Amino acid sequence: MKGVWGAALPGTDRPPRIAMACVGIGLVQRGYERLFSDLFQLMQDDFDLTLFKGGGPRRENEKVLHFTHRNGRLVKLLPVHKLFGRTPYHTECMTFALAMLPHLRNGAFDIVHTIDPPLTRLLYRFRARLGLRFKLLYTEGATMPPSNYPPADYTHEISKVPFDESIAYGHAAETTRLLPPGVYPERFPSPPDRTELRRTYGIADDTFVILGVGAINRDHKRVDYIIDEVANLDGNVLLLLDGSMDHGDPGLIDYAWQRLGERCRISHVASEKIGELYHLADVMVHAAPYEAFGLAMVEASACGLPVITHNAPHFQWLFPKPACWIDMLRPGALAAKLALMISDPAEYAAARCFEITLQRFSWHQLRSSYADLYRHVAAMTLQPAPEADCRKAAA
């Protein structure tokens, strides 16, 4: 028998059996992968959980599947996805879904929990075609409009704006729930000596460090805007950009060095090292006009770092302090805000949301709510797939 949160299913003496599936775990470091990895860690002592992932070590209840990776040699040699107007990501999800099927036979799982939209569509369709008997729980983390959501038995929204839009669009409130991701504060302990930590990274104590964490690109994260704004600052400042190039723009690296020279560093540290960047920095900036959630920002805030974001409804919900918001679409706005924070300690302190973040987004606070979500979905009666949903899954 598992822990107290994973109560037995009605009519059984066992907790729900849950398959969590995320293609990128073990291959890339993004919000999708961190959310599912953390959730698996949080709930594995309470439920019968199996994590299906794309790479990394093989541990108990973690299965690494054989499939065609989007950046692999086979996709480049045989770009079959182009024949159907799809992307390498769709090929990746298709081959991952096929590799999962043998594990889903004979009622092996009560719930299959997904976050990749193409994988969700495929599993919904395969379930109908093959007569499989699991409930499909989909976590929406892709910032897509509700009209494009993949069909599923239950949809988990991770932030308020998409949840409100989903309900307004017509998705059923009884099969949709708002439940944010969390962070583990203990994963980012304060260093015993911040001066020594900075010395390790070759950063002087009096340098004002501006941190940006995320994919280094122009179109979504708008890293070029951050570079331009920091270039307009006087004084001893350093822009530290840490992020993946999986969805990045390699040209931004040269651009950053041209604009900032030694006042810029670009890295992609391992996940277990990211807390060091939060603790050595003075402020985190995020110039994207929208996000599905913003896990790195929440992590930074949980470490006590002030966070500056775009003045949009999602970020207002995420960090409910006006000192955190500026118009990131206006040239000069970020530079002016940073200059004010450097010169005015009160302005700097006003952009910290440490206590609010821990209260709302600690995994330990969220644990019972996620357990209730799993119990609720597991107890649902599996309904025949509507024809409209089958057509949607095939699209």
Q: What is the pLDDT along the chain (395 residues), one digit of tens a residue?
A: 455 555 666 666 678 999 999 999 988 767 778 899 999 999 999 999 999 999 999 988 999 998 876 666 655 555 555 555 567 788 889 999 999 999 999 999 999 999 999 999 999 999 999 999 999 999 999 889 999 999 999 999 999 999 999 999 999 999 999 999 999 989 899 999 999 999 999 999 999 999 999 889 999 999 999 999 999 999 999 999 998 766 668 889 999 999 999 999 999 888 888 999 999 999 999 999 999 999 999 999 999 999 999 999 999 999 999 999 999 999 999 999 999 999 999 999 999 999 999 999 999 999 999 999 999 999 998 766 665 565 555 55
Which of 369-390 are b and which e, b meaning 16 or more Cβ less than 10 Å from the residue's Cβ? ebbebbbebbeeeeeebeeebe
3-state secondary structure of 124: helix
Rounded CA gap, 163 and 168, in Å?
9
Residue 1's pLDDT is what?
Answer: 46
Q: How many domains in the chain?
A: 2
Identify whether 11 is part of a domain. no
Same domain, 309 and 172: no
Identify whether 2 is part of a domain. no
Same domain, 153 and 279: no
Rounded CA gap, 202 and 182, in Å?
31
Q: Residue 43 in contact with residue 370, Cβ under 8 Å?
A: yes
- Give the tens place of pLDDT for each residue, 92-103: 899 999 999 999
Same domain, 226 and 94: no
Identify whether 326 is part of a domain. yes
Rounded CA gap, 125 and 115, in Å?
16
Same domain, 199 and 342: yes
Same domain, 292 and 236: yes
Same domain, 224 and 350: yes
- Residue from 130, 153, 134, 150 nearest 142 by CA: 150
Same domain, 241 and 195: yes
Check which CATH number belongs to the domain holding 147 and give it: 3.40.50.2000
Same domain, 381 and 322: no
Residue 130's pLDDT is what?
Answer: 95
Residue 390's pLDDT is what?
Answer: 56
Instruction: Please give the DSSP secondary-structure letter assigned to residue 380.
Output: S
Residue 392's pLDDT is what?
Answer: 58
Identify whether 176 is part of a domain. yes
Identify whether 6 is part of a domain. no
Rounded CA gap, 191 and 63, in Å?
35
Rounded CA gap, 338 and 229, in Å?
9
Q: What angle do CA 6, 10, 14 make, to 5 degrees?
A: 45
Same domain, 176 and 199: no
Domain that holds residue 142: 17-182+362-394
Identify whether 8 is part of a domain. no
42 Cβ contact list (under 8 Å, min separation 6): 182, 363, 366, 367, 370
111-114 vs 17-22, strand pairing mode: parallel
Identify whether 241 is part of a domain. yes
Same domain, 354 and 366: no
Residue 67's pLDDT is what?
Answer: 83
Q: What angle do CA 133, 10, 139 make, to 5 degrees?
A: 50
Same domain, 28 and 165: yes
- Residue from 249, 300, 265 nearest 279 by CA: 300
- Give the tens place of pLDDT for each residue, 109-139: 999 999 999 999 999 999 999 999 999 999 9
User: Residue 62: enclosing H or E segment and its boundaries?
Assistant: strand 62-64
Residue 10's pLDDT is what?
Answer: 65
Quickly tell me which residue has 């004002």 as its tokens: 208
3-state secondary structure of 188: coil
Strand order, beta sheet including 283-285: 264-267, 237-242, 208-213, 283-285, 307-310, 325-326
Identify whether 1 is part of a domain. no
Same domain, 190 and 166: no
Q: Is 26 left (phi over 0), alpha (psi -120 to 50) or beta?
A: left
